[in-house]
Amino acid sequence: MKACVLRFPEGKIKAMTFSYDDGVVEDKKLINLFKKYGVKATFNYNSSHFGEYNPTDTLVIPEGHLTADELREISADPQFEIACHGHAHPYYASLPQAAATSDLITNRKELERITGKIIRGFAYPSVSATNDVSETALKAADIAYVRTASAEPSNSFALPQNWYKWVPTCHHKDANLVFEKFAELKETVAAPCLMSVWGHSFEFERENNWELIENLLENCHSNPDIWFATNMEIYEYVNAFNRLVLSADGTKAYNPTKIDLWAGICTKNVRKAPIPTIKIPAGETVSLLEYLS
Which residues are near Zn ion by CB under 5 A? 21-22, 125
- Give the nearest distance from C-beta 138 to Zn ion in angstroms: 17
The residues, ordered by sequence, that sit 6+ positions from 280 with a Cβ below 8 Å of its Cβ are 244, 253, 254, 255, 260, 261, 262, 263, 286
Q: How far apart are CA 52 and CA 175, in angstroms?
A: 36
- Give the nearest distance from C-beta 141 to Zn ion in angstroms: 18
Q: How far apart are CA 208 and CA 219, in angstroms?
A: 20
Nearer to Zn ion, 115 or 201 (CB): 201
Q: How far apart are CA 97 and CA 100, in angstroms?
A: 5
Three-class SS of residue 14? strand
- Give the nearest distance from C-beta 19 to Zn ion in angstroms: 11
Nearer to Zn ion, 199 or 264 (CB): 199
- Give the nearest distance from C-beta 125 to Zn ion in angstroms: 4
Nearer to Zn ion, 21 or 81 (CB): 21
Q: How far apart are CA 255 and CA 292, in angstroms?
A: 19
Kindly give the residue spans of alpha helices, DSSP state H, lying in the chain: 26-37, 68-75, 97-115, 135-140, 175-184, 201-207, 210-220, 231-241, 289-292
Nearer to Zn ion, 71 or 261 (CB): 71
- Give the nearest distance from C-beta 177 to Zn ion in angstroms: 24
Nearer to Zn ion, 40 or 147 (CB): 147
Nearer to Zn ion, 22 or 187 (CB): 22
Q: How far apart are CA 242 and CA 14, in angstroms?
A: 17
- Give the nearest distance from C-beta 164 to Zn ion in angstroms: 18
